[in-house]
């Protein structure tokens, strides 16, 4: 594992200009973000699903507000080194809200913002009953996002959820329109086969993002295969959260059954390592310096 600073790492925009393939693990709170950041990933992905779950204990169905999300962006950026890709759902309203959201996410330190063409309230991308807004309204949002940013290196990711309800042709039509409106990265959500993924990649020169959700609608492929197809970024938004839930089930289930952690076979983090991760070394150094 490596430790770096923001100044040591190339920006996400630079990595894409250099044709680097980027794997971005999903993070959702400061513990997950700090653990992921120790590995030196080229980017982290702030999952809307994960923020809604960890912050509100609710599904990714439009409950998280702009303030919930932008505050989490700022917290993660302050405590990590890797470039942050941040989910912004539908932009939290109409075109004027999108302008406010883009400016807020950029000021908070994100390096890319993801905006989708769903109706509000949105739904998680690999669940049912997703509905999209008219294409002209979605294109306007991307145009506004493009114009609202202060730096061209703050990247606009345009996501379409049209595939599930309207078919791949409509999803491709929308993605093309988003590219023409100024999107830097295209995200065609929920293709249902590797063949569909191949078609998506053949259709665009704009960098493409693949959403790898274990148990979702899209095949989970290797990094090598995704890069071979033509994807530039692969996000794994749910893997960390799902692993955490599984681990907690094991620990809490054992405590419920036995009343103690004695002889528990569930692996857990060493307490000293946990203290180091959370930054207690700085606290103890402060105490030594000032004789506390």
Do residues 56 and 192 share a domain?
Answer: yes
Q: What angle do CA 174, 178, 183 make, to 5 degrees?
A: 150
Residue 21 lies in a domain: yes
Q: Give, as one character, the DSSP assignment of residue 11.
A: P
Residue 213 lies in a domain: yes
Do residues 267 and 208 share a domain?
Answer: no
Last residue of a domain, one of 198, 213, 238: 238
Which pLDDT does position 120 carry in this prediction? 78
Return the residue matching tokens 């620990």. Answer: 251
Do residues 277 and 156 share a domain?
Answer: no
Residue 283 lies in a domain: yes
Domain interval for residue 75:
6-238
Say if CB 32 and CB 84 are below 8 A apart: no
Residue 203 lies in a domain: yes
Do residues 172 and 216 share a domain?
Answer: yes
CATH of the domain at 57: 3.20.20.60
**Looking at the 3D structure of the chain, how many domains does it have?**
2
What Å distances lie between residue 241 and 10, 21, 62, 214, 236, CA to CA?
27, 23, 19, 11, 10
Which pLDDT does position 124 carry in this prediction? 65
Do residues 143 and 285 share a domain?
Answer: no
What's the pLDDT tens digit per position in 79-104?
999 999 999 999 999 999 999 999 99
Residue 98 lies in a domain: yes
Say if CB 95 and CB 140 are below 8 A apart: yes
Residue 1 lies in a domain: no
Do residues 259 and 215 share a domain?
Answer: no
Residue 153 lies in a domain: yes
Do residues 117 and 174 share a domain?
Answer: yes
Do residues 217 and 253 share a domain?
Answer: no
Do residues 196 and 267 share a domain?
Answer: no
Which pLDDT does position 2 carry in this prediction? 35
- Name the pTM for this structure: 0.93
Do residues 171 and 53 share a domain?
Answer: yes
Which pLDDT does position 129 carry in this prediction? 67
What's the pLDDT tens digit per position in 249-261?
999 999 999 999 9
Which pLDDT does position 123 carry in this prediction? 67
Do residues 93 and 198 share a domain?
Answer: yes
Do residues 232 and 283 share a domain?
Answer: no
Ranges of the chain with pLDDT below 50: 1-7
């Amino acid at each position: 594992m490596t430790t770096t600073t923001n100044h040591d790492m190339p920006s996400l925009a630079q990595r894409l200009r250099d044709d680097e393939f980027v794997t971005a693990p999903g993070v959702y709170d400061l513990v997950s973000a700090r653990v992921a950041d120790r590995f030196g990933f080229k980017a982290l992905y702030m999952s809307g699903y994960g923020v809604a779950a960890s912050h509100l204990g609710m599904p990714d169905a439009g409950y998280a507000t702009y303030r919930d999300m932008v505050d989490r962006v700022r917290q993660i950026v302050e405590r990590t080194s890797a470039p942050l890709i941040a989910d912004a759902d539908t932009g939290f309203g109409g075109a004027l809200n999108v302008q406010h959201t883009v400016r807020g996410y950029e000021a908070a330190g994100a390096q890319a913002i993801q905006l989708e063409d769903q109706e509000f309230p949105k739904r998680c991308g690999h669940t049912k009953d997703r509905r999209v807004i008219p294409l002209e309204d979605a294109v306007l949002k991307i145009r506004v996002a493009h114009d609202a940013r202060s730096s061209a290196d703050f990247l606009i990711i345009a996501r379409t959820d049209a595939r599930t309800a309207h078919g791949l042709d409509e999803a491709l039509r929308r993605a093309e329109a988003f590219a023409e409106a100024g999107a830097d990265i295209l995200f065609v959500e929920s293709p249902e086969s590797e063949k569909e993924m191949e078609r998506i990649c053949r259709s665009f020169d704009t960098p493409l993002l693949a959403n790898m959700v274990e148990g979702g609608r899209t095949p989970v492929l290797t990094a090598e295969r995704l890069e071979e197809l033509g994807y530039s970024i692969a996000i794994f938004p749910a893997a960390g959260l799902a692993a955490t839930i599984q681990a907690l089930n094991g620990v809490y289930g054992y405590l419920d059954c036995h009343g103690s952690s004695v002889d528990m076979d569930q692996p857990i983090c060493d307490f000293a390592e946990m203290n180091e991760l959370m930054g207690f070394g700085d606290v103890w150094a402060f105490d030594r310096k000032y004789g506390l």
